[in-house]
Amino acid sequence: MEGIEASSPEAGVLERARHHHAARAWALAFDGFQNADRARELQTEDLERFVQAAYLVGRDDDYLALLERAHRAHLRQGRPLQGVRCAFWLGLRLLFRWQQRVMQSVFSSASPQERQGLRRSWLGEAELKTDWTKPPAELDAMGVQWERECG
């Protein structure tokens, strides 16, 4: 997946979106990432920031569509744990919306490794003790460590 070149006009839009995200100016971050994404497909890390901003400004349909994109991007890049995390939140949100048919489709299309990760995520004590305010990369590292210890 190609990112936005540093010298392009879109780079300024993307940098401002990242700045707004870091400043927790969620509406401005959402608008910035949306504009940058229209110019060129976002890299996965920026896509995850876009997901978070969409959720926090209440753009539920955008949130779900972006989560699905992030899920697929992680899988294409060979990062199944990150993909599982996205699939989990997507499925959970769909469950909360009582869209069981769509939710079942998401989970039934998951690979055996993803389904195992989802089961452990639902049933594991580590999930209950996780500090979800940590950055996604740190949470993924915790998942890998937990998998090694409990695997």
The DSSP code for 19 is H
Q: Kindly report, residue by residue over 124-150, the tens digit of the pLDDT.
A: 544 445 554 555 556 556 555 655 555
Give the residue among 89, 96, 86, 81 at the shortest CA–CA distance from 146. Answer: 81
| Beta carbons of 95 and 104 less than 8 angstroms apart | no
Q: What is the pLDDT of residue 1?
A: 35
Q: Is residue 26 predicted with pLDDT exceeding 90?
A: yes
What is the spatial distance between Cα 52 and Cα 47, in angstroms, rounded to a whole number?
Answer: 9
Q: Is residue 50 predicted with pLDDT exceeding 60?
A: yes
Q: Kindly report, residue by residue over 3-12, the tens digit of the pLDDT.
A: 445 555 667 8
Going from N- to C-terminal start, the domains of the chain cover: 1-58
Q: What is the pLDDT of residue 151?
A: 45
Q: Is residue 67 predicted with pLDDT exceeding 80?
A: yes
Read off the pTM: 0.61
